[in-house]
Structure formats: C-alpha cells, structure tokens
Amino acid sequence: MDHRKDTNKKEKSQSLEELIKLPKNGFINEDTYIDEAMNMIEHGKSEISTSKLRSMYGQLCEITKRYDPSAQEELSKDCISALRLLRIQIIYSMGRDDNVMDFIKDSHLVAYICHTEKEKKSGCYKLLCRYFEALVAFHRFKYPKES
C-alpha cells in the first residue's frame, strides 16, 4: 500500500474527530456570535463560494420551515435527524472542495451542529441559525460581486 495514501487517510480521520469538537471558547452565545461570524469571514483562510454557502444555509432554513424548532423547548426527533443529514451533506461537500473544508473548520459549523443535536434545545438551534445567517451576511458584504 502506498505510504502517502495511508498518511492521508490518517490525517482525514483525525480531521473528522477535530470537526466535532467545540472550540476552546465553547458553543456560540448570544453576546458573541455576531463578532465570531464577522471575524471568521474577515480573517478565515477560506474563500467558499457564495452559492455553496447559500446552499448549506438554505438547507438549515428548510429544517426551520419544516420542523419549527422554536415551537417547543426541545427539538423533535425529526428535526435532529434533519440536522444529522445536514451534517453529513456538509462533510460530503468538505471532501469534494478544499475551500469548503477550510470554511467549515474555521467556522466550527459541524461542531456547532453536533452540539445542537446533543443538547436538543431549541435555544441552541436558534443560535446556530443566527450564527449561520451572520456568516452569510458578512460573506455577502466581503464578496458583494460574486453570484
């Protein structure tokens, strides 16, 4: 077996383990999520396409429309299943595009989705949505001409 392939597999598996860990400062909060999103877009090394970012955000919006997570304090099983599917789709996109990989790592989106799944609280879900919306807004500001 090719040593480089073996090393690459090991790096990717370590990378996946790191994806689900919250950053040192923990889960986003009401007071800091806007600044975190702004800093991530301003200083992140990623140049994700607007269409890819909007597509991922659209999937999250679809979950909100379909399951209305704010209707109850705890997320439904269907909503959690939809979040898991979103996480899988994001990880798939990461495997296809290094820019998506960098963006997701810098933004901690997979870790925040995992945390929301585990906590099962609508408050976590709302913050996740607001953070994602802020990422989209700041990305649009920084890259206004991209379609």
CA distance 49 to 53: 6
What's the token pair of residue 50? 């607007």
Provide the pLDDT confidence category of residue 37 given band limits of 50, 70 and 90. very high
Residue 41 · residue 117 · CB < 8 Å: no
CA distance 10 to 38: 32
Q: Which range is least confidently modeled, 1-15, 18-32, 59-73, 112-126?
A: 1-15
pLDDT per residue over 69-119, tens digit each?
A: 878 899 999 999 999 999 999 999 999 999 999 999 999 999 999 999 999
How high does pLDDT run on average in the chain?
Answer: 88
Assessment of whether the complete model's pTM goes beyond 0.75:
yes
What CA–CA distances, in Å, run from 122 to 57, 90, 103, 128, 135? 17, 21, 25, 10, 20
Number of other residues whose CB lies within 10 A of the CB of residue 39: 13
Q: What is the pLDDT of residue 72?
A: 86
Q: What is the pLDDT of residue 10?
A: 46
What's the token pair of residue 145? 């001409």
Provide the pLDDT confidence category of residue 16 given band limits of 50, 70 and 90. confident
